Structure 1
């Protein structure tokens, strides 16, 4: 069973669900595991009964991957509530309205960066999101692709990405393995864990200390960290514990959003490259709604029905979290006649839900039209965003922020760029592999594509907006 589920386990579990039903029970080395294989089962158990399903199994890999401060993996309780409350005050729907100017400026810079180095799509997207987070979180500008903070973020995200697929590391089931020293022969995993934990600490501490030093020097600074520290000071409740929460919340934003945004945007570009008919329809809508002489902004969102459908289809087609973040039961429970012991790991197979042919016809096909009826988004079609950001009381509190970042970047990019298959040395299109990576957060496997401005007018739009955007974001 361990070997069977260590590579793309969401497919294995999907096949088991087809044979055995949408509730599967496994018992692996003392750990009870329940896999929910349908949207209905997930909704009934993780949403409607979240009072008992909102805990997390405290796998050793949460700490060893450098993810122990991430609110998504904290045990359900007061410490988690304090972090969520602190995070939520800056990221509820109304609060995120205040970040839209920063997000839009970053999107304009993204266009210029992508025009100048289109072959670095992955890194350009990462630069864009990191710049937004560093600005609102710490008031620290990201100046270039060589900024040291980009490496700090990249290194810190490696651990969660590679280390949190359930069952990939045997230490999940044999905890004594964590005590093997990293210098021991054949201790390659242990050496990885040391590296990942150090990277997580750098992400938590380095930007926080810079933001704190700005305050100490009396510099005028507006950021989540600065505002939080000033509030603690003004209310007289500052303490090492409260400061630790502020520090953690700053770092949580990266781990909660960076790779979700990255995976979704890579899926959009891959979909456009493989399906030119979709891009043609997107261009037609953008030309009709926006016109050639400006870029999209957030006020256009409701009018860009097809662009919104593309984003939903990208999230469905390449599921960002194929097995979500596993929940755990707090007390003994019963569900559909099955006894579920306290401490059971409950895995929502979100990939299977997003590729259910009874819900989405031809699920392997990229088809945004499935979300549209009579020229509007169809509310009767299962919305992929409901599966991308978690369930019940553990739903991602940063979802509104992440959705806004994806929308403004996708809308602006589709408005000014043609996106076509990559070309070989002979000038002929190269076949792109339609697969996804085997990791906790999953990406399209082959994201090569050709990205060029649609016209001279599009080039002028990119140029004219980038300079002002850099001044706004880095000033």
Structure 2
């Protein structure tokens, strides 16, 4: 039988089987790995890993297989960390060798998202981009000078929510986007539907879906990128042109806005304009463009997730809301709204923000790390190239670290005569080691505090009443790289405080 009359489906299956067999044999030579669930021959645990909420499954498996375990995905072993102790020992203390990123064929090579710093491989380009971002946002003191901008945007947010509480999620997204677009590009977001916000939101939603672990077979078998889309299993290619176009728009359109306004001397100073004042090479200009795009990738979705989680928590935990409001009334009074400089005088409110990060970790599995050289840990051999994922959701719900971890209890972060404050969740929520996100760590942290403080100073947040009946919200969260309260859960009742 010749290739020409060999059925295409069988030919495709044959090629995949050969590739799988090769990978399986290669992996076996690298044993021993950390333990994990028994998989099927060749395909491993592909059928065992759910398409949603993988962190819950990994946490359950960790009860049997331990704090460091592994799964086999089509012959490729991935290590899962289910404890803070192991995460700190490997990803923090050994960050010099645990800071690379996986070879992501779909969103990286094909679509191009590796231009964003959070997906850079560890190396000179990553370090330089991170240095540029840290110059503006690398500490709380550096973010403090942005307070007037952040506070003004939160004022606008309150007015929009008061006017139309049903558009809460859209207003949260718009406020987060407005702050980042102003800082990165000096762009003032328009009332109503804003084209720049729409451009960036579309690209971010696409990468969140595409970056989900095991979402695309081509990430495990790069040769599939060369197969024509009409072959069986080639349907994944249909979205590539749109994904690429939307990423280019997100990076290029705001950047060109800055250049055009600089050319006529009419611009608001911003991150991009400050770096474009020099005579840049083409390579350096590309780096500046990518660094500016990383603002949104690093700070927008995390901010939105935390703030939407806040509104859901306040509906479900009214006693927490009342205590935080009482602190604001006592310390700030009713003559003005809280500002960023008040944070040190509002310990319960500060603790509430920490509990939001712990209770609803925005990136439950974070972005996977890759080992840059062979390592040995706890008797296990971890070869160069091993993908390592920290189950941040599990780390922030460990009963040994957090009492009653599924309860929303800000007081856990306040020391008293009888107990010591529990572990600060920022140790894990913003990444590990050299991969800690400066945009999230400081900018998102400040933005969340202001949104929470001002909302509690102005609103009483209540469960909605429909046909005279109080409706308990759906406590479910989305799956994917970024975890947020489901939009349908955020039907709220906001009334001006008496």
Q: Same fold (TM over 0.5)?
A: yes
For residue 43 of structure 1, what is the aligned residue in structure 2?
88
Does residue 137 (structure 1) correspond to residue 184 (structure 2)? The answer is yes
Cα distance in 1 for partners of 2:295, 2:423 equals 27
Q: Give the CA deviation at 1:84.
A: 1.2
Q: Give the CA deviation at 1:220.
A: 4.5
Change (3 A) 1:186 1:170: closer
Q: Give the CA deviation at 1:218.
A: 2.5
For residue 247 of structure 1, what is the aligned residue in structure 2?
289
The partner residue of 2:104 within 59, 69, 76 is 59
Does residue 72 (structure 1) correspond to residue 118 (structure 2)? The answer is yes
Alignment map for 1:51-450 (pairs within 5 Å): 51-63=96-108, 64=110, 67-93=113-139, 94-181=141-228, 187-230=234-277, 232-233=278-279, 238-374=280-416, 380-398=421-439, 399-424=441-466, 426-445=467-486, 446-450=488-492
TM-score by length of 1: 0.90
Q: Give the CA deviation at 1:52.
A: 0.8
Higher relative contact order (CA 8 A, sep 6+): 1
Residues 67 and 159, structure 1, Cα contact 8 Å, conserved in 2: no
Which sits farther off after the overlay, 264-273 or 356-365? 356-365
Q: Give the CA deviation at 1:274.
A: 0.8
For residue 30 of structure 2, what is the aligned residue in structure 1?
none
Root-mean-square deviation (CA), in Å? 1.9
Q: Give the CA deviation at 1:96.
A: 1.7
Residues 155 and 196, structure 1, Cα contact 8 Å, conserved in 2: no
Q: Secondary structure at the match of 1:386?
A: helix
Which sits farther off after the overlay, 353-362 or 126-135? 353-362
Residues 103 and 219, structure 2, Cα contact 8 Å, conserved in 1: no
Cα distance in 1 for partners of 2:363, 2:183 equals 25
TM-score by length of 2: 0.86
Residues 116 and 294, structure 2, Cα contact 8 Å, conserved in 1: yes
Change (3 A) 1:187 1:276: same
Change (3 A) 1:380 1:118: same
Q: Secondary structure at the match of 1:434?
A: coil
Cα distance in 1 for partners of 2:458, 2:340 equals 16
Q: Secondary structure at the match of 1:321?
A: coil
Cα distance in 1 for partners of 2:150, 2:235 equals 40
Q: Provide, for residues 29-51 of structure 1, a one-character-per-residue CA deviation record: whole Å limited to 9, x for no partner.
A: 34231111100000001001111
Which sits farther off after the overlay, 216-225 or 435-444? 216-225
Which sits farther off after the overlay, 1-10 or 62-71? 62-71
Q: Give the CA deviation at 1:62.
A: 3.0
Q: Secondary structure at the match of 1:132?
A: helix
Cα distance in 1 for partners of 2:83, 2:306 equals 22
Cα distance in 2 for partners of 1:348, 1:96 equals 28
Residues 475 and 489, structure 2, Cα contact 8 Å, conserved in 1: no
Q: Provide, for residues 172-218 of structure 1, a one-character-per-residue CA deviation record: whole Å limited to 9, x for no partner.
A: 22323333455778754322233222211101000000100111122
Cα distance in 2 for partners of 1:54, 1:143 equals 39
The count of aligned residue pairs is 449
Cα distance in 2 for partners of 1:289, 1:218 equals 44
Q: Secondary structure at the match of 2:376?
A: strand
Cα distance in 1 for partners of 2:331, 2:421 equals 25
For residue 466 of structure 1, what is the aligned residue in structure 2?
none
Which sits farther off after the overlay, 257-266 or 415-424? 415-424
Unaligned runs of 5+ in 1: 457-475
Larger Rg: 2
Unaligned runs of 5+ in 2: 1-44
Residues 273 and 449, structure 1, Cα contact 8 Å, conserved in 2: no
Residues 172 and 304, structure 2, Cα contact 8 Å, conserved in 1: yes
Cα distance in 1 for partners of 2:402, 2:200 equals 36
Q: Provide, for residues 314-349 of structure 1, a one-character-per-residue CA deviation record: whole Å limited to 9, x for no partner.
A: 111111111111111001111111110000001001
Cα distance in 2 for partners of 1:308, 1:3 equals 42
Q: Provide, for residues 269-290 of structure 1, a one-character-per-residue CA deviation record: whole Å limited to 9, x for no partner.
A: 1000111111111111111011
Residues 218 and 224, structure 2, Cα contact 8 Å, conserved in 1: yes
Q: Give the CA deviation at 1:56.
A: 0.8
